[in-house]
Structure 1
Amino acid sequence: MHRRRIAAEKREETLAAQLERSDGRWSWRQENARRWAVVKERCYEIQDHRYFNNFFLALIYVNTVLMAIEHHGMDEDLERGLAITNFVFTFFFTLEVTIKMIGLGIFAFGFPKYIRERTNQLDFFIVATTLLEIALTSVASHIGWVRSLRVLRAIRPLRALTKSSGMRLVLKSVALSIGAMVNVSVVVLMFFVVFGILGVQVFAGRFYRCNDPDVAHRRECVGEFYDVTSLDVVPREWSNAYLNFDNLYRALISLFVVSTLDGYGQIMFDALDVTGVDEQPKQDNNPAAFLFFLAFIVLCAFSLLNLYVGVIFYQFSRIRMLSQTSSIDLTEEQKEWAEMCKSVLRMQPLKVLPPPKQLWRKLPFSIISHRYFDPGIMVAIIGSVLVMATSRHDESAEETEAKENVNVAFTAVFIAECGLKIAAMGFREYWSSNWNKFDFFIVCSSIVDLCVGFLSTSFARLIRLFRLSRMFRLIKSLKGLKSLFETLIVSLPAFWNVGALVLLLFFIYSYLGVWTFGKTIRGDSLNEHANFETFQMAMLTLFRVATNDEWVGLMRDCSVTPGSSRCTLADENCGSWSAYPFFISFVVIVSMIMLNLFTAVIIENFENMQDHEEWKLSPNVLEGYVESFREFDDGSGTISGLDLERLLRKIPPPLGLGHGTSRVISVHFIKSLNVPL
């Protein structure tokens, strides 16, 4: 019995100890879960704070600016400082990703929710590549391909896309166009291959020539000859043209250059001069080659490549319409009704000033209210612009003095106009109009121009440029010009979004160019005016490439090899084969696609303006109603009952009755409105 009692007591003690340990583990789990819940809640509050995205957007901008400072041959102190800032920015960007994942749940469960968003996918990819680049360069920076991972930093500015809704809209339109652009690319590539194969069959091996024009065959291109250009004896060389059709790869590059319409003249001239393999070309020996280039330019450059613009324009218009009307399933009548309601809500009555009570303000008020006052000012503006347009370099002193006197007279007219309006309206009422602010700015600049006109400084010449801004006042008087100007104003927000995305692409390619071609030896096109040695010069060079201005020469100089140039592998100043995908992709993405989005924006807004004119209640009809209402307004924003009939008979349908309406019909119509008179 004693043994059993001892065994039972031991079992009870063991069970009590197990229960105590179990309760401890359970309480620890509860405490741990509570702490994680608090951390998750705090992380969610942080990422949901209004300054969270703004803070990291500012970090992205600062990081972008510091990246623009990097280049080959930096000072050690500068390079060390930029390396430290790189670690700091990487820490903050990694912290941002971590906070977002914790805010959506514990790491294992929050990651699927986090990575589901497209913007988070881009952020995570950029942070992951940054950490990979830092890790590899820290342990194996002496390896060449590891050092080249520095170019991965070029994609960091893409994180700005996740913070800007406007840029995401433009990028979304481009992304949704990828499927259609792939189809277009297949068709374009088919034509390129067909023309490329034909070019190889006709021109392969025939673009070679000797630098001595008197040589007729390759076997004669030996020895030396007297060069009349350099006035020296030089060795004869049998060389090939940079752009040729020796194989399909070279033919496709040559055809792409032709499709951009930049530098294709030299290729066509070489094709016109071909004779036979290993034979010296002769001028215009093969005139049929012109038909080859004519057919390719018409089919590909003028037609097929513009399909890219059409595809992006369609998607851009579709997405903008979806964002504005919230549905793409609306009928044309429903779209018209939605846009018309927006136009009506934006309309405001034109303010009519009541006659002033002060005696000294009545005369200025009667002058500016006269029907010939505004037309007279318009005539003065046109005269002022015409006088400035007659200036020339070799004019006599008498002509210059006469024009300055006329300009002083016009300036006095504009000063008098400004003074009369301020006296009649009061400065507060005068300043409430944006056009009056613009007029006041022009008058002030004209006064400054008169004060410094006797100086020949750059500041004085800059001030004189403000005289030309007077012609912008014609916009508010000419209805057609005003419509075009409004189209431009409406397009400005979209211009900003497209321009920001284009600038982002310029930055990425400039950074890549600095670290890929920054040490390349200079050549004929890669010179002091166009190179990738610094970020600023890279931006200017790419702007030149975007305008298709002699970019082929830059691509040639950036792809030089030791056998074709004075560069050496030891000095690391040779080019790279990557010049071909670098320049060709930039021309396709930026020059052919992104820059044409500006045209797409203008066309879309202009079409919208024209479509609005076909509405049953067009914006011009609404503006006509507002202007007619102003004629009967006594300054209180209302009209009398008698003026209501006159207003309805003056305004054409559908807002009014028109001039031919009888008085009886007008009275019955007014009664049907149930308007208290």
Structure 2
Amino acid sequence: MLAIVANTVVLAMDRSSRGDGGVEDAGIAFDSFSESVLAVLQIVTGDDFPLAMSAVAEGSGSGWSIAYFLLLQSFGAYIVISLFVAVLLAKLAQQTDDSLDEEDFTSLALAWREKSLSPELDPSSQLAVALQWLNVVFAVLFALEAAMKVVALGLWTGPAPNSRLGLPQGYLRNAWNLIDAVAVVFSIAALALPSVGALRVLRAVRPVRVVVRSPEIRIVLRALLAALPSIANVTALTLLLWTIFAILGVSLFKGTLSSCTDPSVETKAACNGTFTGEDGSVVAREWGPTAADFDSYPGAMLTLFQASTLSAWAEMARVMMAARGVDLAPSGNGSPFSLVYMASFVVVGSWLCLQLFTGVVIDRFSQLRRELDGSAFQTEKQRRWANTRKLLRAVNLEVRNDPPAGCLRRAAFNVVEHAWFEPAVLGVILANTLAMTLQYYGQSPAWAAALETADWVFLGIFTAEACLKLLGLGPAVYFKDRWNAFDAAVLVVSYASLAFPSGTGAPVLRVFRLGRVLRLVRRARTLHNLFQTLGIMRSCRAAAPTPAGESLVTLFFVVFMVTVSMSMLQLLIAVVIETFTERQEADAQEETLEREPLRVWGR
């Protein structure tokens, strides 16, 4: 993800350095590496998305800038983020902690190469020279990697497949190897011909080498491709439903939702001449649509498309409810029943249709997973046997601690092992959390003193809990449980926060005390599943707009939302739901496996 962000930054700065990035007036700049990173992250995260679109549509007259924005939104905002989530859920922590495999090295090498591409560096500076040499070194390493694979596998026909080693037949017969080869060729060509701008742009294909090396991510991409026919069917049904609403909207609201740029003018006939704007400048009066446009079928479809994303649909509904008549500016609440139209579309055209997209993507993803792991072709007995083996590898039976020697330690052990001890501590945690919510700005000194006293009381209770566990269980057993180690860390931070005088960092330290609330996760099975499902593994290491520009922006919105938001976002949901479901089933089977031996042995 960082590699692709860095590449998009480099491309934007490269265009900006040649005068194609004129979007600074809208608050987005690509003049330096840091500003470019900020701009790219703003676009990828969707922060102030309308401003970013306005910057591209109005601040730049270049089609390259719009193409760059489309690429960044499509592949950065959802595809890369979906791949990132897929990596998080891929169980890559099975690798050893003290070794770097081929994929880790490749990712690290690509990350080092990105900074060397920055056009903001002085080519004669020592840093630029050093980075250029690193660029050459890594290009040679990648070329050697490709050469060794060609020697081992053959370029096209290759040796016969080796069943013992599982070698594929021919280097270029593998699509992922082909992507590697193309990236290596482009890298070497860019070094040999640095003045060719097209080769610099084609370097952006290199980060794909990182993501395509993960088998789990390949499953995600294949699931998306497999779902395309079903997505096409849902898209056809969606367009049919939207067409019905668009025709109805044109019939009800054509000519009634426009207004004048001069707020004091309420009719189209009077909207002519000029007026003085808020900044004192002279502005021409113009009559046009406001938040919603139902003057034509294309305008109505575009309005409904925006409403389907739930972006500013409430503002559209307010304008429609304020409609007064043809060639009259909307005002007041003269058409309250218009809300029925917009609310109906949100339910049918947005919620229903988007859930259909979710359903088909999840269905294809689950089917592909079953086919790849063989479960789709197994009998019921074979599936039960495979699930049992998987469960036995993952199950962790609870270990009962033996009572220690000595009366004092045994008494402490009996207290912490009592059935009511943990619920009582959880109750104290909830009470402590409630007490921390009772502070407010302008509180009286007496109230502040009472809250501080409560802090010391709760701290004493938690200290007593830790001492009882240390005494009854012993330090080795106590710190073996990661939750106990976490509690001890929170306890130390709590003492530090109360020891600091007010205003010297104590409020920041006290925030960490809320970490105790995470202990509730242990008691809530569903929350615990979510934490395990989404756990991070160690391996995840303007000139005025032209008609052509307006058409490109409109096309961008439609393509982006249909192909990205309605497909990739649903694929992300499919990955999360699939993993969460598997975890729930494993937990249920684990509970059965824990109870069954006790029931049998207790006969």
TM-score scaled to structure 2, two decimals?
0.67
CA offsets 1:225-260 (integer angstroms, 9 cap, x no match): 567x66887543334558635665544433321211
**CA distance, structure 1, for counterparts of residue 556 and residue 484 of structure 2:** 50
Deviation by residue 1:411-466 (Cα, 9 ceiling, x = unmatched): 122222222222233222222222222222222222222322x2313x32222112
In the other structure, the counterpart of 1:316 is 365
CA contact (8 A) 1:60 1:159 kept: no
Deviations 1:38-63 (A, max 9, x none): xxxxxxxxxxx985444333222233
CA RMSD of aligned residues (A): 4.3
> Residue 364 of structure 1 aligns to which amino acid in structure 2?
A
2:456 match: secondary structure: helix
Unaligned 5+ runs, structure 2: 1-98, 160-167
Distance of aligned partners of 1:165 and 1:612 in 2 relative to their CA distance in 1, 3 Å threshold: closer
Report the counterpart of residue 394 of structure 1 in structure 2. 442
Matched, 1:183 2:233: yes
Instruction: Give 1:675's aligned residue.
Output: none
Percent of residue pairs identical: 28
TM alignment of 1:128-207, pairs within 5 A? 138=195, 151-193=201-243, 195-196=245-246
Q: How does 1:556-635 map to 2 (within 5 A)?
A: 561=545, 578-608=552-582, 618-624=589-595
Residue 509 of structure 2 corresponds to 463
SS in 1 for 2:566: helix
How many residue pairs get aligned? The number is 493
The residue that corresponds to 2:526 in the other structure is: 484
User: SS where residue 305 of structure 1 aligns?
Assistant: helix
Identify which of structures 1 and 2 has the higher relative contact order when contacts are C-alpha pairs closer than 8 Å and 6+ apart: 2
Sort the Cα spacing of 1:135 and 1:240 in 2 relative to 1 into closer, same or farther, 3 A: farther
CA distance in 1, matches of 2:192, 2:345: 49
Alignment of 1:80-479 (within 5 A): 92-105=141-154, 113-127=170-184, 138=195, 151-193=201-243, 195-196=245-246, 208-212=258-262, 218=268, 220-225=270-275, 234-241=283-290, 244-245=293-294, 249-268=298-317, 273=323, 275-276=325-326, 279-283=327-331, 293-322=342-371, 326-332=374-380, 334-358=382-406, 361-452=409-500, 454-457=501-504, 459-476=505-522, 478=523
1:57, 1:163 within 8 Å by CA — same for their partners in 2?
A: no
In structure 2, what is the Cα distance between the partners aligned to 1:132 and 1:190? 49
* Post-superposition offset of 1:95: 4.7
| C-alpha separation in 2, matches of 1:302 and 1:182 | 18
Indicate the structure (1 or 2) with the bigger Cα radius of gyration: 1
* CA–CA separation in structure 2 for the residues paired with 1:455 and 1:442: 19
Structure 1 letter corresponding to 2:175: R
Is the contact made by 1:203 and 1:274 (CA closer than 8 Å) also made in structure 2?
A: no
Question: Quick check: 2:153–2:169 contact (8 Å CA) kept in 1?
Answer: no
Deviation at 1:486, TM superposition (A): 3.0
Aligned to 1:7: none
Instruction: Report the Cα distance in structure 2 between the residues aligned to 1:98 and 1:243, rounded to whole angstroms.
Output: 58
Paired residues of 2:433 and 2:517 also in contact (CA < 8 A): yes
Change (3 A) 1:297 1:354: closer
Q: Distance in 2 between matches of 1:342 and 1:595?
A: 29
Query: Measured at CA, do residues 206 and 113 of structure 1 come closer, stay the same or move farther in structure 2, by a change above 3 Å?
Result: farther
- Would the aligned equivalents of 1:268 and 1:290 in 2 still touch at CA under 8 Å? yes
* Aligned position for 1:12: none
Q: Rate the CA distance shift 1:200–1:136 in 2: closer, same or farther, 3 A.
A: farther
Is this contact kept in 2: 1:491–1:601, CA < 8 A? no
Offset of 1:65 from its aligned partner?
Answer: 5.4
| Matched-pair contact (CA < 8 Å) for 1:245–1:251 | yes
- Residue by residue over 1:490-543, the C-alpha shift from the partner in whole angstroms, topping out at 9 and shown as x without a partner, is 3126x879x98xx9xxxxxxxxxxxxxxxx57xxxxxxxxxxxxxxxxxxxxxx
How far apart are the structure 2 equivalents of 1:600 and 1:185? 18
Distance in 1, Cα, partners of 2:116 & 2:133? 11
Q: Aligned in 2, Cα 1:255/1:388: closer, same or farther, shift over 3 Å? A: same
User: Which segments of 5 or more consecutive residues in structure 1 lack a partner in the other structure?
Assistant: 1-48, 504-519, 522-559, 564-573, 630-650, 658-665, 667-677
Q: CA separation in 1, counterparts of 2:405 and 2:556? A: 72
* Distance in 1, Cα, partners of 2:249 & 2:133: 54
Question: Given the alignment, which residue of 106, 110, 113 partners 1:63?
Answer: 113
Inter-CA distance 358–183: structure 2 relative to 1 (3 Å threshold): same
Q: Does the CA contact (< 8 Å) of 1:216 and 1:280 recur in 2? A: yes
Structure 2 letter corresponding to 1:116: R
Cα separation, 2, equivalents of 1:576 and 1:487 = 47
Q: Partner letter of residue 593 of structure 1?
A: S
Residues 80, 74 of structure 1: alpha-carbon distance in 2 compared, 3 angstrom cutoff: closer
Query: Is this contact kept in 1: 2:412–2:471, CA < 8 A?
Result: yes
Between the aligned partners of 2:498 and 2:265, the Cα distance in structure 1 is 69
